[in-house]
Chain A
Amino acid sequence: MNELQKKNLSNNLLTVTAWVCACLMFFPIFWMVLTSFKTELQAIAVPPKLVFKPTLENFFLIQERTSYTRYAWSSIVTSVGGTLLAMLIAIPAAYAMAFHPGRQTKGILLWMLSTKMLPAVGVLMPVYLICQKFGLLDTKIALVVIFALINLPIIMMMLFNYFREIPGEILEAARMDGATVGREVTQIVMPLSRGGIASTVLLSIVLLWNESFWSLNLTSSDAGTLVALVASFSSPEGLFWAKVSAVSTLACAPIVVLGWLTQKQLVQGLSFGAIK
């Protein structure tokens, strides 16, 4: 075997290894989706069935028995609502920090990021009691506000980085032409960083959709999100694997696809901007 053949062989081996790893990592997800199309008896068959007649029955049953749509609606309202509320605060704030930086700007930003590193459980009691006092336990409003607050630091940091890429001269020119601050933000900064804003919004929705700590602790039946619906299957009665798979597939599919689209932003956002 000559040098070239050897290299080819090892290259092929590495490729095969890469595919095996990818398949192994993906397997639980594949299995979950597969199970959702089985009947309950097929789902627990030993040995597991790989070939079977797929059924949509579980998806209908879920709909009937658990009012899936209500939980899904909660998830949508709270993750999108939380994101929009946070953007409403973050866009002006990031604008101020990026274009009119003071001496403390960096410190303030770091301080905001550091709150994200606070374990949520550390403030569980106060938040719970505040919600209780204002009658906000198990309401979507409470979740929207909390979601906006917990994601605000990451959103701020990402917007700050995007805004800083806009050349200051453009804004100066606009100011010369008599543009007000409001017009500067809405007609120049926002359109110029459209892509950045869009990916920030997507990332935030992905993170909030999967947020579990506050959803599990602050909601039950009225404002329960999909996270809570899935958790309610943790101590079930009877055969339920196929149904739980169906619920899980429905709950995860949209966000996994969104997640694929936000890979790049994910790295930046979750590393708090330490890696770009």
Chain B
Amino acid sequence: MIVPLGMTIYFSTIRYQLLYPDRSGFNGWSNYEFFVTDPAFWPAILNTLILVGSVLAITVVFGILFALLLNRPFRGRGLARVMLISPFFIMPTVNALVWKNMMMNPIYGLFAVISGALGLEPIDWLSDYPLASIVIIVSWQWIPFAFLIFLTSLQSQDQEQLEAAVLDGAGSFSRFRHFTLPHLARSIAIVILIQTIFHLAIFAEIFVTTAGGPGNQSTNLAFLIFAQALQGFDVGVASAGGVIAIILANIVAIFLIRIIGKNLAT
């Protein structure tokens, strides 16, 4: 990994345009300047943050909810659990296509059919709310991940403590608030850190559904870099973008590494 990383940093400081191979030489900070002053840059950063933030909120809330629901014995729990985690194993491109066509298509999609049946105007999800649509698609895929981690964590919770709380007359909400939630704190932190790292670089879902559009309404940082690199053929600028993406991810990774490190020691 070191070699490509070094090359990225090197490329980010030189002139390197695949369409004009004769232009070369040291370029200093100007690739960065070009990337950062691109009118698409700040929207892309904002989109990335909205995307990561909303998906995190949705997956954590539903992950905890589903984990609580499935953490009690009932008939067919194994099957329900398998159904809940299945979306995670669906290929991102399949996931995106299924939602784009069969759910969100403004004429034949299920959402349109349902809102039609209710007498509402159907919504053209991907053109009118591109970012929200992608949030839904990505959340659907990642709720199972949060769910699995929370369920694993719930199963290691001290049951006697909870029973004692019941005897003391604590209601189910206050039990959740004072015992379960603190117990989950560590796994919530881990879910947030890991998903942030993965979602900073969401690519396939955007590639298949909106291709960053309309305009650049759903362009995130990863997609912007892709567009610069393989559509604009500008290696230098794309590399500068890559370095920025790496720095962003590293800010999160530092905290994650600390938690993992502690775990390795014990």
Stretch with Cβ within 8 A of B (4 or more), from A53-61, A110-118, A175-183, A188-196:
A110-118
Q: Give complex CA distance A23, B82 in Å.
A: 11
Most chain B CB within 10 A, of A31, A124, A255, is at A124
Are B85 and A217 within 8 A (Cβ)? no
The answer to whether A124 and B242 touch (CB under 8 A), given A22-B84, A263-B85, A267-B148, is yes
Q: Give complex CA distance A256, B86 in Å.
A: 6
Q: Which of B92-114 contact A (CB under 8 A)?
A: 92-103, 107-108, 110, 113
Are B245 and A122 within 8 A (Cβ)? yes
Q: Mark B74-86, 1 if CB is under 8 A from A, else 0.
A: 1111011111111
Are A18 and B80 within 8 A (Cβ)? yes
- Check: B203 CB closer than 8 A to any chain A CB: yes
Stretch with Cβ within 8 A of A (4 or more), from B22-30, B34-42, B175-183, B193-201:
B193-201
Are A46 and B230 within 8 A (Cβ)? no
Q: Which residue of B lies closest to A212 (CB)?
A: B204
Residues of B within 8 A of A260 (CB): 82, 85-86, 89
Q: Give complex CA distance A52, B171 in Å.
A: 49
Q: Mark B56-91, 1 if CB is under 8 A from A, else 0.
A: 000000000110011010111101111111111111
Q: Which of B120-177 contact A (CB under 8 A)?
A: 140, 143-145, 148-149, 152-153
Are A231 and B143 within 8 A (Cβ)? no
The answer to whether A26 and B194 touch (CB under 8 A), given A121-B203, A274-B259, is no
Cβ 8 A contact of B264, one of A18, A124, A273: A273
Are B89 and A206 within 8 A (Cβ)? yes
Q: Which of A194-246 contact B (CB under 8 A)?
A: 206, 209-210, 212-213, 216-217, 226-228, 230-231, 233-234, 241, 244-245
Residues of A within 8 A of B221 (CB): 121
Residues of A within 8 A of B257 (CB): 110, 113-114, 117
How many residues of chain A get a CB closer than 8 Å to chain B's CBs?
75
The answer to whether A124 and B229 touch (CB under 8 A), given A25-B83, A234-B97, A271-B149, is yes
Q: How large is the interface on B (under 10, 10 to 19, 20 to 34, 35 or more residues)?
A: 35 or more
Q: Which residue of B lies closest to A153 (CB)?
A: B1
The answer to whether A126 and B11 touch (CB under 8 A), given A15-B74, A119-B245, is yes
Are A275 and B140 within 8 A (Cβ)? no
Are A270 and B145 within 8 A (Cβ)? yes
- Check: A32 CB closer than 8 A to any chain B CB: yes
Are B229 and A126 within 8 A (Cβ)? no
- Check: B50 CB closer than 8 A to any chain A CB: no
- Check: A127 CB closer than 8 A to any chain B CB: yes
Q: Which of B186-229 contact A (CB under 8 A)?
A: 187, 190, 194, 197, 200-201, 203-204, 207-209, 221-222, 225-226, 229
Interface SS of chain B: helix, strand, loop or mixed?
helix
Q: Which residue of B lies closest to A25 (CB)?
A: B84
Q: Give complex CA distance A157, B76 in Å.
A: 34
Are B140 and A25 within 8 A (Cβ)? yes
Q: Which residue of B lies closest to A161 (CB)?
A: B264
- Check: A109 CB closer than 8 A to any chain B CB: yes
Q: Which of B249-266 contact A (CB under 8 A)?
A: 249-250, 252-253, 256-257, 259-261, 263-265
- Check: B246 CB closer than 8 A to any chain A CB: yes
Cβ 8 A contact of B246, one of A17, A119, A149, A259: A119
Cβ 8 A contact of B11, one of A44, A125, A228, A263: A125
Are B89 and A125 within 8 A (Cβ)? no
- Check: B46 CB closer than 8 A to any chain A CB: no
Are A123 and B102 within 8 A (Cβ)? no
- Check: A93 CB closer than 8 A to any chain B CB: no
The answer to whether A272 and B69 touch (CB under 8 A), given A28-B87, A47-B117, A126-B7, is no
Are B260 and A274 within 8 A (Cβ)? yes
Are A119 and B90 within 8 A (Cβ)? no
- Check: A29 CB closer than 8 A to any chain B CB: yes
Q: How far is the CB of A89 from chain B (nearest CB, A)?
A: 14
Cβ 8 A contact of B4, one of A46, A126, A248: A126
Q: Mark A79-92, 1 if CB is under 8 A from B, else 0.
A: 00000000000000
Known: A121-B221, A125-B238. 13 other contacts (CB 8 A): A25-B87, A28-B99, A31-B110, A121-B225, A123-B4, A124-B229, A124-B230, A231-B93, A234-B208, A234-B209, A263-B148, A267-B152, A274-B260
Q: Enumerate the 9 nearest inter-chain pairs by beta-carbon distance, A residue then B residue, closest first.
A: A259-B89, A126-B7, A212-B204, A123-B4, A122-B242, A126-B4, A119-B201, A26-B83, A22-B80
B residues lining the A interface (CB < 8 Å): 1, 3-5, 7-8, 11, 65-66, 69-70, 72, 74-77, 79-103, 107-108, 110, 113, 116-117, 140, 143-145, 148-149, 152-153, 187, 190, 194, 197, 200-201, 203-204, 207-209, 221-222, 225-226, 229-230, 235, 238-239, 241-243, 245-246, 248-250, 252-253, 256-257, 259-261, 263-265
List 16 A-B residue pairs with CB atoms under 8 Å apart, sorted by A's residue number. Answer: A11-B72, A14-B72, A18-B74, A21-B65, A25-B66, A47-B113, A48-B113, A119-B246, A121-B242, A123-B7, A206-B89, A213-B204, A230-B93, A234-B96, A263-B85, A275-B187
